[in-house]
């Protein structure tokens, strides 16, 4: 396993994402992922599966401190008071006293960032999360939080895959001792059709998904949280630590980025950064 170290905390660079997994499928998926070797599990309040994740972790036989657990506060609970209450609910569902990383899921402009961050920091100070961060924030929004408000943020979780350049976000997180967590790292399976990825996969005897995840993890301060419902794909995604990519191969995959590469942009999304 590759690790990213932030504030003395070692974060497994490859995680298991649980978006759209619920009930028995989610609980069994998380349990199987842990059995395979995953030690970074990502969930969120809006996924409605925190109880399933908690059930799997509590019964997996692995000590809680060995698992890096992330959840995210939904947009309707970012106010001071509501945020803390929502975290208490999340912890109860997750059957744990703390999460390793707590994120604001999407930027909410109706509530001052200062209020949101104050509540997030209070949760951290009380030990209910070890690290705090954001998700889907632009560079300007990160600047407001990190520079204007002086908040120590660990990560920005954003969509990132070969079709979408995140250079502005990457440059910012690296300059401020943060890391980028890539969600939808396989572009919902579309990396299977990426020319450069397919060619490298064929040459190395790997799948396009494995090449893509290796490409992500070989970038400085980048973690990835692919979702996989089947054991076959969980094992495939985890089997990426026995090879590396050349500089030319990395560049070829970067060159797959395109202006319309973003796949996830709901109506409440911010005005995204454009790649330099």
Model confidence at 275: pLDDT above 80: no
DSSP lists the bridge partners of residue 134 as: 104, 156
* Closest alpha carbon to 53 in 62, 65, 41: 41
According to the model, what pLDDT value does residue 85 have? 98
Helix axes 23-36, 50-58, angle to 10 degrees: 40
Q: Side by side, which strands form the sheet with 129-135?
A: 16-17, 40-42, 68-73, 99-104, 129-135, 155-159, 179-183, 222-224
According to the model, what pLDDT value does residue 276 have? 57
Predicted confidence band of residue 102 (pLDDT cuts 50, 70, 90): very high
Task: Give mean pLDDT, residues 125-139.
Answer: 98
38 tagged catalytic? no
Model confidence at 266: pLDDT above 60: yes
- Lookup: tokens for 257: 């980025």
According to DSSP, residue 255 is labeled T
DSSP letter string, 176-237 = TT-EEEEESTTGGGGGGG-HHHHHHHHHHT--HHHHHHHHHHTSTTEEE--B-SSHHHHHHH
Predicted confidence band of residue 202 (pLDDT cuts 50, 70, 90): very high
Domains of the chain: 3-189+215-245 (3.20.20.100)
**Average pLDDT of the chain, as a whole number:** 96
pTM of the entire predicted model: 0.96
Catalytic residue among 47, 98, 160, 172: 47
Residues 6 or more apart whose Cβ sits within 8 Å of residue 213: 14, 185, 186, 224, 226, 237, 240
């Amino acid at each position: 396993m590759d690790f990213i170290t932030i504030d003395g905390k070692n974060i497994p660079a490859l995680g298991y994402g649980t978006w759209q997994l619920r009930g028995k499928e989610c609980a069994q998926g998380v349990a199987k992922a842990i059995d395979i070797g995953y030690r970074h599990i990502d969930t969120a309040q809006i996924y409605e599966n925190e109880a399933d994740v908690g059930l799997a972790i509590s019964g997996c036989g692995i000590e809680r401190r060995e698992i890096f657990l992330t959840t995210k506060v939904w947009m309707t609970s970012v106010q001071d008071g509501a945020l803390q209450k929502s975290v208490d609910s999340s912890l109860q569902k997750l059957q744990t006293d703390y999460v390793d990383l707590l994120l604001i899921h999407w930027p909410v402009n109706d509530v001052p960032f200062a209020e949101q961050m104050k509540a997030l920091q209070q949760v951290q100070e009380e030990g209910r999360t070890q690290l705090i961060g954001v998700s889907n924030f632009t560079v300007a929004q990160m600047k407001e939080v990190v520079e204007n408000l002086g908040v120590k943020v660990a990560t920005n979780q954003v969509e990132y895959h070969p079709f979408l350049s995140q250079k502005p976000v990457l440059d910012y997180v690296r300059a401020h001792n943060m890391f980028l967590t890539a969600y939808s790292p396989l572009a919902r399976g579309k990396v299977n059709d990426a020319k450069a990825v397919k060619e490298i996969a064929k040459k190395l005897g790997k799948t396009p998904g494995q090449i893509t995840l290796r490409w992500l993890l070989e970038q400085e301060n980048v973690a990835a949280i692919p979702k996989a419902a089947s054991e076959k794909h969980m094992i495939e995604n985890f089997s990426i630590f026995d090879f590396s990519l050349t500089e030319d191969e990395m560049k070829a995959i970067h060159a797959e980025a395109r202006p319309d590469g973003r796949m996830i942009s709901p109506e409440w999304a911010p005005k995204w950064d454009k790649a330099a």
